[in-house]
A and B are shown apart, each in its own frame.
Chain A
Amino acid sequence: MPESGSLVSRAIRWDTVVGALLIVLLLFSFSFVDGFGNAFNLSFLIGSALPIALIALPMTMLVVAGEIDLSVASTAGLSGAVMGKLWNQGMTIETIIPICLILGVVCGLVNGLLVTRLGLPSLAVTIGTLAAYRGIAQIVLGSDAVTDFPTQYLDFAAGRIGDTFVPYALLPFLVLLAIALVVLHATPFGRSLFAIGASEEAARFAGVRVKRHKLILFTVTGLVASLTGVFWALHYASARYDNATGLELSVIAAVLLGGIDFDGGKGTLGGAIAGVFLLGVLQNVMSLQDVSAQSQIVVTGVLLVVSVLGPRVARQISVARAASSSP
């Protein structure tokens, strides 16, 4: 019988590997990289990673359930564009933000309905809406850039608490992270997502409402994407139709790096968030060390291939261990 619960096999679990790598990289950076440890750099690092980390919360759940949403960055961009447009028309920011969030819910709902009602693959559906939502954003705002949002909001999105390195925005993120951790790893809903991702048919035969779970997930993903779009526009004090372009790839990269199996059913949210910050720290350190942008892209690309290979190799090792000890 395989020692599936043993310390050895837990040590070669990929999410633990990523967490350990992150700690090693942080220790290294604090000790040897000039300019890394100061409050300004740290808050810059966290601020740039936050949009990715935010969307990674629902994206992790989607990938665990065997689905994906590539339209998140476009939803964020659309949300930012609508925010800019309505602000230009004189609406108050307190009215605009809820409208943007509702818009995100609608975007997510459209994805979810196309996937669950029409039975289309989410990869295809969200490639389509990736283009569509971005297109609508451009129609809404054209090539304008809206920058004159109220100062207190800009300060909240870009500022940090006193002299510390902690951005204000980190606090609400930590609350959302805690909620997501509980939902995915400690509720019947989360447990069902793992079952759906590992075997949708078996989950259905166990009475799990598969379509409902997926619809909820896509809707929440749209909501979080639009929230990210609002944060992005305020953080960079700029609402443009092309905000957050390509962010979906960073999110998916980080989630995969964090050990979420692209085939569904496996992984932990902790691993995914470790993946987000591992990529974030790495890029930050490379920038501080004046590594050229091109080389940074190469390093990130290699890491991605490793991230897809790594968990598989880790699993094959444990499968081989199991096979060598059972017939």
Chain B
Amino acid sequence: MTHPSDTGPAPVLALKDISKSFGAVRALRGVSLELFPGEVHALAGENGAGKSTLIKTLAGVHRPDSGQVLLDGEPVVFHGPGDARDAGIAVIYQEPTLFPDLSIAENIFMGRQPRRALGRIDHKATHTATAALMQRLGVDLDPDRPARGLSIADQQIVEIAKALSFDARVLIMDEPTAALTGSEVARLFGVVRTLREQGAAVLFISHRLEEIFEICRRVTTLRDGAWIASEPVEGMTEDDLVRRMVGRDLDELYPKQDVEPGEVALSVRRLTREGVFTDVSFEVRCGEIVGLAGLVGAGRTEVARAVFGIDRWDAGEVEVQGHRLTNGAPSTAMAAGLALVPEDRRAQGLVMDMSIERNIGLTGLRTTVKAGLMDRGAERSRSLDWAVKLQVKYARIADTVNTLSGGNQQKVVLAKWLATGPKVLIVDEPTRGIDVGTKAEVHRLLSQLAADGVAVLMISSDLPEVLGMADRVLVMHEGRLTAEIPRSEATEETVMAAATGRAAA
């Protein structure tokens, strides 16, 4: 747990004893960090540990209250993101923001395109420069392709290319893999390795511990704003890392209980939405957790949306506990005992400007009513009850949900749906972007719900999660169900084979 400074080259970027407070909250307390050229360095910690503040300090968004930022050993002060960029520091965010109607090349050289005579943009030079960047990254992307319709993975590549075009020597990657599929992660790691070989320093943030072990040489752990350790990854176990992050031994990450399945609770028959998914049939029984795996874009989320009634289906039928659902009517699906925890908690799961109390209350508008009027007492106790049961960490139940961390927001979404007493719970990416401690809590909760007789359909791109939690795994490929794999036979290989269409099991 020491700062290894025996490495040959000097650190390209170092933080020394950085502290930063917001009001009474001490977000960073004496944090130090050294990034060496040619190293991929992980930054680990739970949500709220101070990772975001640290990144923003490096990126010039925040100025530290005390401590130093050293660039090539010289103290520097960043007055804004522009200063950090000029110093060769680039941040790649989880969900990049590109101009959709501009080409990849135009996005990369936005505002500083190579010029020809009379100030006209030199499209040819822009194209050539972009192609060179893509070649440097070892990626095959057409520079003239518009950004619209690019996958998040491709958008990140564009952002990385853009960073390189600024001669970035330090890349900070903030949860770049959260929304990527397995093969996209592999490609991204290929790019990261290329960058490393070319001498760049990469600061890598991920909630997926196995990724830290795969790609990083050293890891710095933060907890509650304090520096805990900077150490080589080699020789550590996942348990070691989790212990540093949460400060204690964590219970099992996948606490799956064995439950004898009961009656069929959800029955989907020959469901089709033209051009999106075709002829999808499956059942989920009470007490079962059924995983729905597949690549992003395979149609998993779309099936869930149609089943719940957000989108209409063109053919087929859905039954919840024997009640046929109305096409395109979430309210009747709810009344039949169906609940959907959607994939995008900020846009779909929560009304971000509303309080915790009212967000949870939104699913109870039919029940917390007295003589046609809102029964505020009942609404509050229902919301408090579930917020406490799910151990949501908040200051006041009347605080808006955008004051909460990602993991706590997800707990509010779960609370809001569990409060309806669902018989069938569909969860879409239930642990995306939330820290390992909360993730284990969500898994324990899902397992407990199944044990209590709820039928759970879990869509997840996190393969270990699917394998760890599901009794059965359904796999979709290009809009069709291609496989149903029992827990005993489900492995990364069998699931990925079905997800990529390599096998029709």
Contacts and interface: CB of A to CB of B under 8 A. Distances in A.
Q: In the complex, which range does the number of interface residues on chain A fall in?
A: 20 to 34
Interface stretch (A51-59, A96-104, A205-213, A284-292): A205-213
Interface stretch (B63-71, B136-144, B229-237, B356-364): B356-364
Contacts of B342: 205
B25 A191 contact: no
A327 B48 CA distance: 9
Contacts of B25: 1, 325-327
A4 B399 contact: yes
B27 interface: yes
Contact of A4 (B22, B349, B366, B403): B403
B142 to A, nearest CB: 32
Interface residues of B, number: 42
Interface stretch (B367-375, B472-480, B488-496): B367-375
Contacts of B331: 207-209
23 contacts: A1-B25, A1-B395, A1-B399, A1-B403, A2-B403, A195-B362, A199-B350, A201-B347, A202-B349, A202-B350, A202-B352, A203-B351, A204-B310, A205-B340, A206-B363, A207-B330, A207-B363, A208-B365, A325-B24, A325-B25, A326-B22, A327-B48, A327-B52
Contacts of A192: 362, 365
A265 interface: yes
Interface stretch (A41-49, A180-188, A214-222, A305-313): A180-188
A208 B350 CA distance: 13
A266 B358 CA distance: 14
Contacts of A203: 351, 362
Interface string B364-395: 01100100111000000000000000000011
B463 to A, nearest CB: 26
A5 interface: yes
Interface in B36-52: 48, 50, 52
A198 B396 contact: no
Nearest to B420: A207
Contact of B53 (A187, A199, A327): A327
Interface of B: 22-25, 27, 48, 50, 52-53, 310, 330-331, 333-334, 340, 342, 347-354, 358, 361-363, 365-366, 369, 372-374, 394-396, 398-400, 403, 416
A323 interface: yes
Interface in A161-211: 182, 186-188, 191-192, 194-195, 198-199, 201-209
A202 B374 contact: no
Contacts of B363: 206-207
Nearest to A196: B351
Contacts of B52: 327
Contacts of A209: 331
Contacts, number: 103
Contacts of A199: 347, 350-353
Given A5-B398, A186-B374, A188-B366, A326 B23 contact: yes
Given A4-B396, A326-B22, A327-B22, A205 B349 contact: yes
Contacts of A207: 330-331, 333-334, 363
Interface in A1-58: 1-2, 4-5
A322 interface: yes
Nearest to B376: A186
B366 A198 contact: no
A206 B373 contact: no
Nearest to A324: B23
A203 B350 CA distance: 8
Contacts of A191: 358, 361-362, 365, 374
Given A1-B395, A5-B396, A202 B403 contact: no
Contacts of B354: 194-195, 198, 265
Contacts of B416: 206
A101 B86 CA distance: 66
Given A201-B347, A205-B349, A206-B362, A182 B403 contact: no
B353 A325 contact: no
A200 to B, nearest CB: 10
B351 to A, nearest CB: 5
Contact of B351 (A2, A4, A188, A195): A195
Contacts of A205: 310, 330, 340, 342, 348-349
